[in-house]
Structure 1
Amino acid sequence: MKRDLTDILQAQRQAAGQAPFPTLAVRRERLARLASMTKRHQSSIVRAIQLDFGHRSEVEIRLAETTALLHAISHARRHLWHWMRPRREGVPWRLWPARAKVVAQPLGVIGVMAPWNYPWALSLMPVVDALAAGNTVMLKPSEQAPHTSALLAKLAPQYFTEEELSVVQGGADVAKAFSELPFDHLVFTGSTAIGRQVATAAAANLTPVTLELGGKSPALVAGDADIESAAKAIIFGKAFNAGQTCIAPDYVLVESRHLDALTHALERAIRSQRPDAKEATGYVNEAHKARIERLLNEARDQGCRVMDQGPHAPALVIDPHQGLAVMQEEIFGRILPVISVKHTEDAIRFINARPHPLALYAFTYQKTLQETLRHSTRSGALVFNDTLLQHAVPSLPFGGVGESGSGAYHGRHGFERFSHLRAVFYQSKQSHSHWLRPPYRHWLLKLLRLS
């Protein structure tokens, strides 16, 4: 298998070498084909994802998988001419009349290792940016979503040559071999543990990596928050895709005086948004489902107050002990710990004492507190008074910091991530740079001392 992967890589590298700087028209046409592949087969995409999850709302699939991808493609096609344009940079007066520019040059072959939780969108979102930047792409979808993976492998050859976009299927052994290939850039989305392995494998080839890892994203409900509105937004973010979202709120922090009001509001939001299993998403496999229930049972066994309206809805765990697995691991499921603190400052200290999250959700309209959170915390994204919707803005970077990931893509950020920003310097015939060369004149030292 590794030999086959190497053959594909070499074919793509050769193609990239023959067309090292695809034109704007070529790039836009490739993106149009990617859009057509998604538009024309939306019913098949929906069915494949529903088969992978057992059940998943068609509305959520179209919102998060197909519509989000089509918006990203449209954004890239609309702005690509501007992104590709060389950017003129200033030159120190001592070097006049020389000129300088930054030119975005394709890296070559981009490897993409996709997760199972959004198997269509998170497979192809990096592909959008990679194609926009003029690269070729090898894509390894997750074996945990076999129906979507098979559909990707079936459709890609109908719209792209293998040299443009190749989809590689397989299990952990193929993923390992894939991560060991000498790509020009490698994108991995998944767990922190596997991300470490991928980064280690890529380091052997000095392959630069973009890691989107997740972690425990907090939601902070401040004293001035609209409790009802905050509860609705938090439950939307937690219940969407059954919590199997890397940017889902993992736990909630609230001042003690508002704990009861918030928990009641959260329960009302659950009853309103998730009254039965009709709109619920299933877990990707029985092992993941069993893990979530094990975390919940441990909290019950340890005497935590658990407010559970059924397996189709978020379950609240009130003030869990910090040693519980639910507070040590990324939950990635329907459990929502709610933790009371004396003051908002204590909540900020709680957040800063832990690894930087992929997203920080803060419910407050106080400008001073918003500024404090901007300056005193670190996270991949900082979102005020809502959840998840930052991912629907194609011009915002998507990425983590520290243990939640490294590097970001989406829109121009992805275009530049998958480009080499090449420095270009143009010397003029009227250059005076010879005055800077030895033998050095006495006046040059005087001039340098004055600068």
Structure 2
Amino acid sequence: MTPADIPSLFQAQYDASRAQVDVPLLLRQERLLRVRKLLVEHGPQLAAAVQADFGMRSPRLTEVADFFVLHTLLSHTLKHLPRWVRPQRVRTPFYLQPARARIERQPLGVVGVIAPWNYPVQLALGPAITALAAGNRVMLKPSELTPHTSAQLAALVGQFFAPDEFCVVQGDTHTAALFASQPFDHLVFTGSTAVGRKVAQAAAANLTPTTLELGGKSPCIVGTDADLEDAALKIAHGKLLNAGQTCIAPDYVLLPRGREAAFAQAYRAAVQRLFPTIEGNGDYASIITPRHHGRLRTMLREAQTQGAEVIVIDPAEGRSAPATQGTLGDGVSRQLLPALVLGATSSMQLMQEEIFGPILPVLSYDRLDDAVALINSGPRPLALYWFGRSESVRDDVLRRTVSGGVTVNDTLLHIAHDGLPFGGVGDSGWGAYHGESGFLRFCHQKSVLVQSRWSLGATLYPPYGPRFDRMMGLLRKLIG
């Protein structure tokens, strides 16, 4: 399916959604089971495609970061969907009784999904699963930076779904712009804040509501009573998963002044534990393109030039890992060594934009208030991480900061909880999905009031007079 097909594909889904407004529960469940069958039967093909796009990314990483997340989402959704689709009874206030009220959760119609490259299966199929559960038709535009994965998704979705149910459109940024200009009933975009603004502008022309999952600079705050070795290991895992190419990866660390050397030592040990080697290690992903790789290297050079201490961590001191069965791809040259940056300042590029790579700035604070003030001085982040033992201090920090989500004494894990909504705030996005929150995001909650034949509403009709005055006086007393 090409860019030229986009208007006709949209029209086919639009017509189908209007012809079948009420989508039965059994059909929704059957569509989800088809997605599950796609993943079970063709997971190895998709993992190989992701590997080919990155050049160096283990299928095991794709298994845990893409497939496992999707399987838990499918299980959670299938389990709870019968309850979610039921009309919700609403208590009627006394002045409208004996009328009855309910909320009906109806499909919006056609949902567009523009997916990113960093988790190209999870972030493509995750929103699609929830939109299908809500009874919608789905059009998906995967990233042009993962062409092998996009081609596999297009072929497999075409094998399991009719085009007016769920289809995939491949293409470049011009295709994405044309895609975003369609009058969807809802549009989901995951990617950078800069591109998210363009998507929101394109959607606004059609009054299309959007869910924008963006990024930002997600901080890790290390409290004075934190276990430094435990914090360093969990921060390293969150930072280096997919080589830092994760929207909720820790972007920088706020550390009590005087603990810089101890943290650097603990972080180095954590990297060595997680990745005994970097070069040729399939567990450690490549940076997606030479351009992204060059941008990260430029950040490091600039920080060093401006006086920061850059600690590059090579666990094997140059020794490379043996290639696994010759299938790890050609991305060794884009495997960027992890780096700590001590003494980073706000004027540096790595503190002005989302890093999206294995570079971790460390900023020192004298008082916790200073750390909170620094976070609040910038755009609100997609995630925030707190490490420390004191519950009262933790709760104080969480009360005084705003972020899309939080994990305490670990990183990333709030996104894996299907009962928690996932989304940003401000520059890190708007709208949330996952679980019932996502289901409701892709529904229209229609208000329904069923009047009784015994209604007293006519007592408030004109012409107004003494009876009206008595009734209004009584209602005011009862309302209080």
- TM-score band, normalised by shorter chain: over 0.9
> Would you say the 8 A contact 1:274–1:312 is kept in 2?
no
What is the rounded CA distance, in whole Å, between the counterparts of 1:442 and 1:336 in structure 2? 70
What is the rounded CA distance, in whole Å, between the counterparts of 2:99 and 2:277 in structure 1? 69
Give the drift of 1:444: 2.4
Of 440, 443, 451, 1:416 maps to: 440
The residue number in structure 1 matching 2:310 is 306
The residue number in structure 1 matching 2:377 is 353
The residue number in structure 1 matching 2:54 is 53
The residue number in structure 1 matching 2:208 is 207
Give the drift of 1:446: 2.2
1:154 maps to a residue whose letter is A
The residue number in structure 2 matching 1:437 is 461
Structure 2: where are the runs of 5+ without partners?
315-334
What is the rounded CA distance, in whole Å, between the counterparts of 1:257 and 1:6 in structure 2? 60
Does residue 394 (structure 1) correspond to residue 398 (structure 2)? The answer is: no
Does residue 362 (structure 1) correspond to residue 386 (structure 2)? The answer is: yes
State the SS of the aligned residue for 1:320. coil
What is the rounded CA distance, in whole Å, between the counterparts of 1:369 and 1:240 in structure 2? 28
What is the rounded CA distance, in whole Å, between the counterparts of 1:51 and 1:220 in structure 2? 36
The 1:449/1:431 distance shift into structure 2, 3 A limit, reads closer
Structure 1: where are the runs of 5+ without partners?
none
1:51 maps to a residue whose letter is A
Give the drift of 1:3: 5.1
Does residue 292 (structure 1) correspond to residue 319 (structure 2)? The answer is: no
The residue number in structure 1 matching 2:262 is 261
Give the drift of 1:349: 0.9
What is the rounded CA distance, in whole Å, between the counterparts of 2:231 and 2:349 in structure 1? 26
Does residue 282 (structure 1) correspond to residue 286 (structure 2)? The answer is: yes
What is the rounded CA distance, in whole Å, between the counterparts of 2:420 and 2:148 in structure 1? 30
Of 383, 389, 400, 2:407 maps to: 383
Give the drift of 1:365: 2.4
Give the drift of 1:297: 1.1
Deviations 1:141-195 (A, max 9, x none): 0001000000001111110000110100000111010000000000000011111
1:143 maps to a residue whose letter is E
State the SS of the aligned residue for 1:128. helix
1:324 maps to a residue whose letter is M
What is the rounded CA distance, in whole Å, between the counterparts of 1:207 and 1:221 in structure 2? 41
What is the rounded CA distance, in whole Å, between the counterparts of 2:6 and 2:256 in structure 1? 54
State the SS of the aligned residue for 1:425. strand
The 1:4/1:420 distance shift into structure 2, 3 A limit, reads same
> Would you say the 8 A contact 1:361–1:384 is kept in 2?
yes
> Would you say the 8 A contact 1:12–1:162 is kept in 2?
yes
Does residue 178 (structure 1) correspond to residue 179 (structure 2)? The answer is: yes
Q: Please identify, of 2-11 and 390-399, the stretch whose mean Cα deviation from structure 2 is larger.
A: 2-11
1:351 maps to a residue whose letter is I
The residue number in structure 2 matching 1:271 is 272
> Would you say the 8 A contact 2:3–2:170 is kept in 1?
no
Percent identity, please.
48
The residue number in structure 2 matching 1:446 is 473
What is the rounded CA distance, in whole Å, between the counterparts of 1:248 and 1:213 in structure 2? 12
1:264 maps to a residue whose letter is Q
Deviations 1:401-448 (A, max 9, x none): 000000000110110000001111111111111112222322023225
> Would you say the 8 A contact 1:280–1:312 is kept in 2?
no
Does residue 331 (structure 1) correspond to residue 355 (structure 2)? The answer is: yes
The count of residues paired between Structure 1 and Structure 2 equals 451
> Would you say the 8 A contact 1:97–1:431 is kept in 2?
yes
> Would you say the 8 A contact 2:287–2:336 is kept in 1?
no
Deviations 1:83-120 (A, max 9, x none): 11111111111111111111111000000000000000
State the SS of the aligned residue for 1:257. coil
What is the rounded CA distance, in whole Å, between the counterparts of 2:352 and 2:433 in structure 1? 28
Does residue 246 (structure 1) correspond to residue 247 (structure 2)? The answer is: yes
The residue number in structure 2 matching 1:217 is 218
What is the rounded CA distance, in whole Å, between the counterparts of 1:350 and 1:138 in structure 2? 40
What is the rounded CA distance, in whole Å, between the counterparts of 2:264 and 2:182 in structure 1? 49
Give the drift of 1:275: 1.8
What is the rounded CA distance, in whole Å, between the counterparts of 2:400 and 2:10 in structure 1? 44
The residue number in structure 1 matching 2:64 is 63
State the SS of the aligned residue for 1:224. coil
What is the rounded CA distance, in whole Å, between the counterparts of 1:331 and 1:130 in structure 2? 30
What is the rounded CA distance, in whole Å, between the counterparts of 1:449 and 1:87 in structure 2? 29
Q: Please identify, of 256-265 and 203-212, the stretch whose mean Cα deviation from structure 2 is larger.
A: 256-265
Structure 1 residue runs of 4 or more that deviate by more than 4 Å after TM superposition: none
> Would you say the 8 A contact 1:223–1:258 is kept in 2?
no
Deviations 1:196-241 (A, max 9, x none): 0010011000000100111000000001111111100000000000
What is the rounded CA distance, in whole Å, between the counterparts of 1:275 and 1:251 in structure 2? 23
1:399 maps to a residue whose letter is G
